[in-house]
Structure 1
Amino acid sequence: MALLITDKCINCDMCEPECPNGAISMGSEIFKIEPDLCTECKGHYDKPTCQSVCPISKCIITDPDNVETEDQLLEKFVVIQGMA
């Protein structure tokens, strides 16, 4: 599953530089996550770094509109990294 930044976001800019896939960018009002690039850090880290550095509890959640299995996330990681 890709992750989603909720409207609790305070635009602290902690998450964007931590994303190894470049999936996080500034939206019109708050940061956003590009689902096609989000692998929940599978292939890079044990858990999503954006969630780890976010100072707001439950600001970055699982995106219910982009449900993927761990295998699908790892496949996406391989494609993004150009290993396919």
Structure 2
Amino acid sequence: MATNDTVQARVSAELKADAEAIFASIGLKTSDAIRLFLQQAVNSGGLPFQPKAKVPNAETLEAMKEAENGQGTRYKNTDAMFEDLDV
């Protein structure tokens, strides 16, 4: 009979809550999701996914595109920007 071992990890409360909400929406407990992750890592011989950087939201992507195209408001310094924004 196989024995169980304990795995512990420290994560922020926000990360834990966000992940638990996702797991619950697909019918998993956090412990089930961790077991699934570990099993898939063993099955694939590595991480069971390709790590990626967080993708900027649509508003940020649009602002980046405008900046690349030379559009948008340009400021000489941060003081001028904050003055324009009434900050």
Instruction: Give the structure with the larger helix fraction.
Output: 2
Shorter-chain TM range is under 0.3
TM-score, normalized by length of structure 2? 0.21
**TM-score (norm. length: structure 1):** 0.21
* Greater relative contact order (CA < 8 Å, ≥ 6 in sequence): 1
- Structure with the greater alpha carbon radius of gyration: 2
The structure where strand makes up a greater share of residues is 1
